[in-house]
Amino acid sequence: MKHPYENQPDIARWKRSVAAVAPENLDPLKTFSFKVSASDKVATAGSCFAQHIAKRLSASGYNYYVTEAGHPLASKETREKFQYGLYSARYGNLYTVRQLLQLFREAFGERQPTETVWSLDEKFVDPLRPNVEPGGFYSDEEVQLDRRQHLAAVREMFETLDVFVFTLGLTEAWESREDGTVFPLCPGVHGGVYDEGKYAFHNFDVFETVSDLKALLEGLFSVNSNAKVILTVSPVPLVATAEDRGVLISTTYSKSVLRVACDEMKRAFPEQVEYFPSYEIITGGYSRGAYFEEDLRSVKTEGVDHVMRVFFRHVTDESSEPAVPIPDAAEESFTQKLNSMNQLICEEEMLDAASGR
Amino acid sequence: MGRSMVAFGNGAKRILNSLGLSASEKAEQQPQDDTVGKTLIVLIGASHYVAIFSAAEARSLPTEPVEGGMVDLRIFNAWKHGLNYGFAVPEDGVWVLEATLKEQLTELTADYDRVIFFSVFGGNHHQVLTLIGHERPYDVYMPEFSHVPLETDAEILSRSYVEQTLLEFVIGPYRDISIFLRAFPKFEFWHIQSPPPIGDDTFVRSNIDSWFVEQMKLNSDFPLTPRYVRQKVWQIHSDLYHREGQANGFELLPCPAGTRDAEGFLKPEFYSNDATHANPAYGELVLQQMEQIAKANIDSFKTFG
């Protein structure tokens, strides 16, 4: 009788699928349980690395789904500067699972954070996305109004997306001692004032992370039963740790927790959740670190290319034609037309008024 | 010393206050000498100069300096150049004042003790951006407009977002102002605030420039941006020039006192025959502001350029 390993395919064997393969050709995926078609509305969220996926999807003609794109009165450049379209809604980077869970709950009226505004010099920021408004908002009220609109966009996104790609980034976070709200930045770094009595460091463990992620997905499926979810783990190491230990050790801890949580979700929701191995493709020893920049943190374009090659090969439905990316065509024309008309307006005035002297 | 106050005497603070300017921060920069010699006022820019030009023309002043006169007004004839004069030209990687005009201005200003530039560059970008209603209605929250409810069902844009949008439009006027500041660093420089928006939607609709209707392919029932939103964007537009002036050494000359109605819109007596400019009566009040700054009446007027 043969032992179980004898029937395993090449991809299950290190030598044949990793060691003997040219690095750029490595493909760790065996199967992917669903496909993303060109018409599927694909929403993204997560840590910085998730931005790569969003950009590539958009550039490749897939239906990168954005429910908070910024008013088209502004140019594309301005909208980008204000972080519209960076992700599917203007939530900025969501590093921890808890952040996304609390956003979901706030969007659906299940929680209300106690702290809703931080001061930043003479302006104000939203503590839960302190970097989305360059220089900050002009008033407390403006922060609240913008957040109200943001939450509506988040709600719409969750209720109407087809595929949700969530890139898990960190386990370390700063939270409010008062109501447990987790912030993307330590208070005082960009708005707010650090106060040991008000804020505490929290490094989420695997049980908390699994529990949060499960609650999030249950919530998502309750408002959108057809949604599919692709989980990835960011390969980008921690820039610093607040733990009393080396950042390399903390990085390994964080990524391990997140990676385990992804597999737990795959087991919990086998029909609706998949894991995509961005983390393995970038950090795997097979590449000998070649996908990192000199800072050993930033991912090189070649690395993103590799990730996306594998993504498109396995995740997208190649038989379907990618959607033509035309979201801004009509919107742009409004401002451009007006801009080009400025001179004409002036001339109209001049026709009746001036004759020279 | 602040360049815009170089030639101001002790009465400058009083003048600025009467113009509605905040001059306290500038007061310490004022020289002690209250003597002002012969003054030249130069008006440069685009379409908003017409109201001032027409007001000056209505005064039937001599075209040449008069004996014993204190203030001469010279207005750049923008119309002659189809409102498309290239004030700024590239030279060695930077924008500079076009050489012929610079030479002309150098000659024009040579015999004066004091030269004051007034600019109406740009001036209508807030109208360009906001006059026609957008298919996605928007509003801006501004505490100073808290007495006005936000537009129902409008998307609320942050003030910074509107600022950034306007900045992309006003980059040209900023450049034009900056080349004058660099070319004539010893002269005073004021930018004239655009007239307040017209609040009467019926007037705006019936007097809107045909270009809007034709270029935007609008039906007769085209939407207008709500008037208070127009006023807010005008305010933001003005504040941008004020901020730019503080950073780069020019003053914003506020719209003349008494030209706004109780709601802050342009009074009907200052409406022009279109939806975006003020009339010569308004221009006359601006001339009077200029004379307050010059501390004497204008004695002669003609165009140049």
Of A47-61, A125-139, A181-195, where does mean pLDDT reach its minimum?
Answer: A47-61
Average pLDDT for chain A: 89
Hey, are the CB atoms on A348 and B159 less than 8 Å from each other? Answer: no
Q: Which helix (H) or strand (E) holds B88?
A: strand B88-91
Q: Where residue A55 falls among pLDDT bands split at 50, 70, 90?
A: confident
DSSP E strand stretches across A215-341:
228-233, 273-275
The whole-number pLDDT of residue A253 equals 98
* Chain A residues with beta carbon closer than 8 angstroms to that of B125: 342
A-chain residues near B209 (CB < 8 A): 344-345, 348-349
Mean pLDDT (whole number) for B183-201: 96
Cβ count within 10 A of residue A160: 14
Burial of A282 (0-12, 13-18, 19+ CB in 10 A): buried
CB within 8 Å: A337 and B216: yes
Judge: B160–A339 Cβ closer than 8 Å, yes or no: no
Mean pLDDT to the nearest integer, A24-34 = 94
d(CA B233, CA B126): 6
Report the distance separating Cα A292 and Cα B50, nearest Å.
61
CB contact under 8 A, A349 and B276: yes
Over residues A191-225, the pLDDT tens digits come to 999 999 999 999 999 999 999 999 999 999 999 99
pLDDT tens per residue, range B170-186? 998 999 999 999 999 99
Contact A347 B302 (CB under 8 A): no
pLDDT range class, residue B34, cuts 50, 70, 90: low
The answer to whether B136 contacts A71, with C-beta atoms less than 8 Å apart, is yes
| Confidence bin at B128 (pLDDT 50/70/90) | confident
pLDDT at B32 (0 to 100): 40
pLDDT at B64: 94
Mean pLDDT for A286-291 is 96
User: Which position has the token pair 């030009």?
Assistant: B53
Where helices occur in chain B by DSSP H, the ranges are: 12-18, 24-27, 49-58, 99-109, 125-130, 159-183, 201-207, 210-215, 227-248, 280-294
- To probe the interface with A, which of B52, B131, B142, B157 has the most A CB atoms within 10 Å? B157
Whether A321 shows a pLDDT value over 70: the answer reads no
Position A329 pLDDT exceeds 80? no
pLDDT exceeds cutoff 70 at A57:
yes
pLDDT at A320: 55
Q: What pLDDT does residue A207 have?
A: 98
Q: How close, in Å, is residue A116 to chain B by CA atoms?
A: 17
* Closest CA of chain A from B165, distance in Å: 5
Between A250 and A328, name the one with better pLDDT.
A250
Chain A: residue whose CA lies nearest to B74: A357
Q: How far is A191 from chain B (nearest CA, A)?
A: 17
pLDDT higher than 80, residue B211: no
Which pLDDT score is estimated for B22?
40
Joined tokens for residue B56: 């000056």
Q: What pLDDT is stored for residue A119 in this prediction? A: 96
Instruction: Please say whether the beta carbons of B157 and B74 come within 8 A.
Output: no
Lowest mean pLDDT among A11-15, A89-93, A334-338: A334-338
The pLDDT of residue A58 is: 81
Q: In chain B, what are the helix, strand and coil shares in percent, each to the nearest 5?
A: 40, 20, 40
pLDDT bucket at A282, cuts 50 / 70 / 90: very high
Q: Which band of pLDDT confidence, cut at 50, 70 and 90, is reported for residue B130?
A: confident
What is the predicted pLDDT for the residue at B36?
Answer: 66
Q: What confidence tier does B35 reach under pLDDT thresholds 50, 70, 90?
A: low
**Among A89-103, A125-139, B27-41, whose mean pLDDT is lowest?**
B27-41
pLDDT at A325: 41
Give phi and psi for B136, each to the nearest 5.
-110, 95
Q: Is A156 on the interface with B (CB under 8 A)?
A: no
Over range A338-344, report the average pLDDT. Answer: 41
B46-63 tens-digit pLDDT? 888 899 999 999 999 999
The reply to whether residue A354 touches residue B50, judged by beta carbons under 8 angstroms, is yes
Q: Where are the beta strands (DSSP E) in chain A?
A: 42-46, 118-120, 123-125, 163-168, 172-176, 182-183, 199-203, 228-233, 273-275
Flag whether pLDDT at A306 surpasses 90.
yes
Q: How confident is the model at residue A280 (pLDDT cuts 50, 70, 90)?
A: very high
ipTM over 0.90: no
pLDDT at B226 over 70: yes
Model confidence at B190: pLDDT above 90? yes
Sequence letter at residue A231:
L
Q: Is residue B77 pLDDT above 80, yes or no?
A: yes
The answer to whether A126 faces chain B, any CB pair under 8 Å, is no
The predicted pLDDT at position A47 comes to 87
pLDDT score of B225 more than 90: yes
Closest Cβ opposite residue B128 in set A74, A75, A339: A339
> What single-letter DSSP state applies at residue B255?
P
In the predicted structure, residue B23 carries a pLDDT above the cut 80: no
d(CA B256, CA A328): 41
**Among residues B63, B50, B44, which one has the least CA distance to residue B280?**
B50
Q: What is the pLDDT of residue A319?
A: 56
The pLDDT, as a whole number, for residue B2 is 33
Q: Is A22 on the interface with B (CB under 8 A)?
A: no
B158 to A138: CB separation less than 8 angstroms, yes or no: yes
Q: What is the pLDDT of residue A308?
A: 92
How far does A346 lie from chain B, in Å, by closest CA?
5
Least CB–CB distance from A74: residue in B63, B127, B165: B165
Verify whether the Cβ–Cβ distance B46 to A78 is below 8 Å: no
Q: Write the DSSP assignment of A17-39 as a string of letters.
A: IIITS-GGG----S--S--B-TT
Share the mean pLDDT of chain B: 86
**Average pLDDT of the residues in A25-52:** 92
Question: At A67, which amino acid appears?
Answer: T
Write out pLDDT tens, residues A134-172.
999 999 999 999 999 999 999 999 999 999 999 999 999
Question: DSSP label at A16?
Answer: I
pLDDT band of residue A331 (cuts 50, 70, 90) is very low
Nearest to B123 by CA among A75, A343, A25, A332: A343
Under the banding of pLDDT at 50, 70 and 90, the label for residue A317 is confident
* CA angle, A120 then A125 then A127, to 5°: 110
What's the pLDDT at B30? Answer: 39
Q: A107: which residues sit within 8 A by CB, 6+ positions away?
A: A151, A152, A154, A155, A158
Q: Do A348 and B50 touch (CB under 8 A)?
A: no
Which 74-93 residues of chain A touch chain B by CB within 8 A?
74-75, 77-78, 81-82
DSSP codes joined into one string, A67-82: S----TTS-HHHHHHT
Name the closest residue on chain A to residue B124, using Cα atoms: A342
CB A92 within 8 A of CB A150: no
Q: What is the arithmetic mean of pLDDT over A305-318?
A: 90
- Residue B31, token pair as written in the block: 């020289």
Contact B215 A146 (CB under 8 A): no
Specify whether the CB–CB gap between A84 and A70 falls below 8 A.
Answer: yes
In chain B, the N- to C-terminal Cα span, in Å, equals: 31
Tokens for B287? 């001339």
How many C-beta atoms lie closer than 10 Å to residue B278's C-beta? Answer: 25
